[in-house]
Structure 1
Amino acid sequence: RTGCQWRDLPEAFGPWNTVYKRFNAWSAGGKLMRAFSTLVKDPDVEWLFIDGSYVKAHQDSTGAATQVAEAIGKSRAGNTSKIHLAVDAYGLPIGFRITGGEVHDSTEAQALIDDLPAGGALVADKGYDSERIREQVEAKG
């Protein structure tokens, strides 16, 4: 197995199912996003970096009967999610978006860049190389 399974959490955290239920409740209630936003204090915006990375989803991950979007999509690797991340000059995360794996970097770039503070330079790979993104970055400063 890979990753940390809920049942394998150290006993110091309490019963694994309590941790799991609390994690889900905090996630659904927006507490985890508020904690992330609180931790992003005074980023060094001389250099900003953005990129996307795939996360392979478990083969049974798309079986939930829910109306809420789960950010799981089909890509060459199968069921995947994609994390679109922005970091500051120290490599500390300052913004992110999660989508299905089929979403191209350039599609999420506009929303990700809109959420960033103005900085000295934005560094990205060729997945973000388009005139529309260049104009948006120049307009943002």
Structure 2
Amino acid sequence: MGSPHHPIRGHAEKAQLAPLIPNASRGRPRAEDRRVVNGMVYKIRTGVSWRDLPERYGPWKSVYTRFRRYAIDGVFTRALQQIQARADAAGDIDWLVQIDSTIVRAHQHAAATGRKGGSTAREPDDHALGRSRGGLTTKIHLACDGRGRPLAVLLTPGQRHDSICARPLLERIRVPRTGLGRLRCRHGHVIADKAYSSRGFRACLRKRGIGHTIPEKSDQKKHRRNRGRRGGRPTGFDRETYRRRNTVERCFNRLKGFRGIATRYEKTATSYEAAVTLASLLLRARSI
């Protein structure tokens, strides 16, 4: 991932991250944009608190304020979509989409979310925090392409079942066109594990004309056989295609290489999702 002293590496990567830096046409002079973005990257890579940012990135409050503003305005998401648009135009996206989820332990500092004025219109009431035997957890739902580059993320409390979030996750894949045309939301094929094996999700994919490779649960097989002809035909399943599902696992491993992602320190879901999106953007930029 490179030295923490130089989170953004080289001119090529700087060009890929240019959409992260909105132009400020007026107002008082502010801290150097690249230095501030470097501070954001350093923070999510190391997991340090905002107050412990090294002085070389400028005042920590300036870095945090800019990060929070970018998170609320959706700057990170738009930047990722712009990189995806250029990659799609160049044929560099493998539309063999893979979806999965991973549970992230939330630090005790992430539980202090009751301050007044700390939420926004897009902030869920539960802040995407759920309680389980292991304590407070957040679940990251991820869609990546066939080469392991993130396409979309969705946060939920840790106890939320994967099948409930499959459709909302796929709906977040919205790749703009570089020229005229609507956003690209339709995928060629979806690979997922047994957690996503439901009749409703399969029907949704068929309705949208999307192929899928999802193994059927044993109880679902038994129920279908017991119903005879009314149970319908067996679902198609290609073992060779399913073997590529480990690509999404490798994508999770790279994301969790950022300590600020492997453990949730952010209090709000908006900020943590922005951190995951920023890490996804860096993975996408460094794969080019």
TM-score, length of structure 1 as denominator length:
0.85
Mapped to 1, the partners of 2:151 and 2:100 lie a distance apart of 12
| Structure 1: runs of 5+ lacking an equivalent | none
| Structure 2: runs of 5+ lacking an equivalent | 1-44, 174-184, 210-288
Q: Is the 8 A contact 1:113 1:137 kept in 2?
A: no
Closer/same/farther in 2, CA of residues 56 and 119 from structure 1, 3 Å limit: same
Question: Cα offset for 1:62?
Answer: 2.0
Q: Is the 8 A contact 2:163 2:196 kept in 1?
A: yes
**Equivalent position to 1:92, from 139, 149, 164:** 149
Mapped to 1, the partners of 2:57 and 2:109 lie a distance apart of 27
Question: Cα offset for 1:7?
Answer: 4.1
Segment drifting more, 63-72 vs 78-87: 63-72
Is 1:135 aligned to residue 192 of structure 2?
Answer: no
SS at match of 1:106: helix
Mapped to 2, the partners of 1:97 and 1:73 lie a distance apart of 15
Mapped to 2, the partners of 1:124 and 1:76 lie a distance apart of 26
Closer/same/farther in 2, CA of residues 76 and 125 from structure 1, 3 Å limit: farther
Is 1:36 aligned to residue 80 of structure 2?
Answer: yes
Closer/same/farther in 2, CA of residues 10 and 112 from structure 1, 3 Å limit: same
SS at match of 2:128: coil
Amino acid across the alignment from 2:71: S
Match of 1:107 in 2: 164
Decide which structure has greater helix share: 2
Q: CA RMSD in A?
A: 2.1
Match of 1:119 in 2: 187
Q: Which of these two proteins has the greater Rg computed from alpha carbons?
A: 2
Mapped to 2, the partners of 1:120 and 1:27 lie a distance apart of 30
Q: Is the 8 A contact 2:153 2:172 kept in 1?
A: no
Mapped to 2, the partners of 1:136 and 1:62 lie a distance apart of 36
SS at match of 1:40: helix
Segment drifting more, 116-125 vs 84-93: 116-125
Amino acid across the alignment from 1:130: S
**Equivalent position to 1:76, from 117, 133, 136:** 133
Q: Percent identity?
A: 38
- Superposition pairs for residues 4-15 of structure 1, below 5 Å? 4-5=47-48, 6-15=50-59
Is 1:59 aligned to residue 139 of structure 2?
Answer: no
SS at match of 1:61: helix
**Paired residues, what number?**
139
Question: Cα offset for 1:3?
Answer: 4.0
Question: Cα offset for 1:36?
Answer: 2.2
Q: Is the 8 A contact 1:44 1:89 kept in 2?
A: yes
Match of 2:277 in 1: none
Decide which structure has greater strand share: 1
Closer/same/farther in 2, CA of residues 112 and 18 from structure 1, 3 Å limit: same
1:53-79 deviation per Cα after TM superposition (whole angstroms, max 9, x unaligned): 111111232222245422111133211
SS at match of 1:85: strand
